[in-house]
Amino acid sequence: MSDVRYTKEHEWVQVDGDVATCGITDFAQEQLGDVVYVELPDVGRQVKQNEEIAVVESVKAASEVYAPLTGEVVAVNDALVDDPAKVNADAAGDGWFFKLKLSAPDELAGLLDETAYQALVAEQS
């Protein structure tokens, strides 16, 4: 995935125009283990950057997912409700969580690029 940005809390975001697709990173799903439940936000919800927006539960733990950017939820990946294991199988693809219509696109500059994110993961491994 090119033009992907990351948070220090292990969320990823890929922007297309003014809409950002968001999910948790492969590193995050590996740390969680087998994902058994995903709670997604409601479409239409307004969120601020770093606000709790979703929950992912695994056999090991529950973890909050934070909005990487400010905006309005315009879509959610309903497939995760029926098959939360999609997060484990393809965290950066079919396992996406939600899409945001951005209201502060300049926030993107504050997120990590691939190189910086890989350095963060290496520190935490």
- 91 within a domain of the structure (yes/no): yes
Minimal CA–CA distance to 107: which of 7, 31, 1?
7
> CATH number for the domain including 73?
2.40.50.100
Residues of the domain holding 69: 4-103
pLDDT at 2: 53
Determine the Cα–Cα distance for residues 42 and 74; give it in Å rounded to an integer.
9
Instruction: Decide if 8 is inside a domain.
Output: yes
For 6, the token pair is: 């990351």
Give residue-wise pLDDT tens across range 73-120.
999 999 999 999 999 999 999 999 999 999 999 999 999 999 999 999
Q: What is the number of structural domains in the chain?
A: 1
CB of 40 closer than 8 Å to CB of 28: no
Tens digits of per-residue pLDDT, 9-51? Answer: 999 999 999 999 999 999 999 999 999 999 999 999 999 999 9
> What's the CA gap between 41 and 27, in Å, rounded?
22
In a domain, 41, yes or no: yes
In a domain, 113, yes or no: no
